[in-house]
A and B are shown apart, each in its own frame.
Chain A
């Protein structure tokens, strides 16, 4: 469970989020909001990449402010642009990166990397440089690099924004099939229709919090 307790966040004197309180317990949660609504900031608060300037964020009882490292182990994070998430030259090295940082034994790293590449249909790229892949394949590689760490929750920050239709489908299917709990920040209304809960963010406040059948039409109305 991820819990926000009177969370506010500001960059300098520019307030981005004000007084957010909620508990996320559902399997699939979407966060919708326009540009500048504060949703990327909210996503980064979920795994301690940012700590709130006011209030607290806890993940399964761990405070992101004091237990940042433990929280990041529990919560995986997939960024919008895979080019800033793929950090090592070849596909295999990149998927192994997080495992190495955790000092997992070599044999186990090899086993888990193989399994992750197979699961995401990337096995044939194993020894290739990541920069030769298409945008969609890069996003799948970025996702594989996070899921190989077996987090309890996964946060996605606009995972389909930069993709074409076919690759968007692949990423949506991948998210749908996740055994973990997922929080997805997105503009992609189709993707969230089968989610359990949707929060709509506007000017740093939650203006709707309901199942998609209710929240999505409300969001569309607010946009128009």
Chain B
């Protein structure tokens, strides 16, 4: 399954996922604690530096950023025009998050989905004493990726049936066969997993 990852030969791409996510968390905490616009300015500069270092096409990065930036600008305009007060605080908040969203987007564009999922598994592994089983989580994530094209196809069929009949009120009725099918598929898939030797009581890796 293709993620948003954009391959380039850069040091930023080669940094481990854990370093990038940990760094993002640290920068976020820093930006939120630094007073005024200082945090936003530093994070913004860091973001632009990393953008250059990662050799990503600027147009593509901007496209990822467009939706949140447009929304933030609208909200800010709304705030400044209608409320009249507090716009300086709002400007700082918007600048902070614009910079953080840029950094976060860079993390996503430079990290493979598989590496990110590995990281999640390791993080959830820390919760093992609480009864969390990272192997099960990993299996569920892989199963989900496998089923997405199947379910996307099924949803498309439901939407086509809806359009073909021209009914808007019976959307619920159209989803029922799909949901029932999911439950019967679950029976078969569970049987298939166990037929191939999967044991749900197995806690190891």
- In the complex, A touching B, CB below 8 Å? yes
By CB atoms of chain B within 10 A, which of A47, A72, A130 has the most? A72
With A88-B146, A129-B1, A131-B150 as known contacts, state yes or no: A77 contacts B189, CB within 8 Å.
no
Q: Which of A30-71 contact B (CB under 8 A)?
A: 44, 47, 49, 69
With A44-B191, A49-B191, A129-B1 as known contacts, state yes or no: A89 contacts B197, CB within 8 Å.
no
Out of B142, B191, B197, B204, name the residue touching A88 (CB < 8 Å). Answer: B142
Out of A73, A84, A89, A102, name the residue touching B192 (CB < 8 Å). Answer: A84
How many angstroms between the C-alpha atoms of A93 and B139 in the bound complex?
11
Say whether A89 contacts B1, CB under 8 Å: yes
Say whether A149 contacts B196, CB under 8 Å: yes
How many angstroms between the C-alpha atoms of A23 and B195 in the bound complex?
22
Which residue in chain B gives the minimum CB-CB distance to A49? B191
Say whether B199 contacts A69, CB under 8 Å: yes
How many angstroms between the C-alpha atoms of A47 and B196 in the bound complex?
11
How many angstroms between the C-alpha atoms of A200 and B179 in the bound complex?
35
How many angstroms between the C-alpha atoms of A142 and B199 in the bound complex?
19
- Closest CB in chain A relative to B21 CB, distance in Å: 23
By CB atoms of chain A within 10 A, which of B143, B192, B195 has the most? B195
Which residue in chain B gives the minimum CB-CB distance to A44? B191
Which residue in chain A gives the minimum CB-CB distance to B184? A84
B78 cross-chain contacts in A, Cβ below 8 A: none
Binary CB contact string for chain A from 112 to 152 against chain B (1 if under 8 A, 0 otherwise): 00000000000000000111000000000000011001000
With A84-B188, A129-B1 as known contacts, state yes or no: A72 contacts B150, CB within 8 Å.
no
Say whether A89 contacts B145, CB under 8 Å: yes
A49 cross-chain contacts in B, Cβ below 8 A: 191, 194-195
Binary CB contact string for chain B from 111 to 155 against chain A (1 if under 8 A, 0 otherwise): 000000000000000000000000000000011011001100000
With A88-B142, A129-B149 as known contacts, state yes or no: A145 contacts B196, CB within 8 Å.
yes
B interface, how many residues as a size bin?
20 to 34
Interface residue count for A (Cβ, 8 Å)? 30
Say whether A83 contacts B195, CB under 8 Å: no
Out of B145, B150, B188, name the residue touching A79 (CB < 8 Å). Answer: B188
B199 cross-chain contacts in A, Cβ below 8 A: 69, 101
A89 cross-chain contacts in B, Cβ below 8 A: 1, 142, 145-146
A76 at the interface (CB under 8 A from B): yes
How many angstroms between the C-alpha atoms of A69 and B143 in the bound complex?
22
B195 cross-chain contacts in A, Cβ below 8 A: 47, 49, 72, 76-77, 146
A4 cross-chain contacts in B, Cβ below 8 A: none
A81 at the interface (CB under 8 A from B): yes
Q: Which of B1-31 contact A (CB under 8 A)?
A: 1
A-B pairs with lowest CB-CB distance, top 10? A98-B196, A84-B188, A131-B149, A77-B195, A101-B197, A85-B192, A89-B145, A89-B146, A101-B198, A98-B197
A–B complex contacts, Cβ < 8 Å, 17 sampled: A49-B191, A69-B199, A72-B197, A77-B192, A79-B188, A85-B189, A86-B146, A87-B143, A87-B146, A87-B193, A89-B1, A89-B146, A97-B198, A102-B197, A103-B204, A129-B1, A129-B149
What is A's interface to B at a CB cutoff of 8 Å?
A: 44, 47, 49, 69, 72-73, 76-77, 79, 81, 83-89, 93-94, 97-98, 101-103, 129-131, 145-146, 149
What is B's interface to A at a CB cutoff of 8 Å?
A: 1, 142-143, 145-146, 149-150, 185, 188-189, 191-199, 202, 204
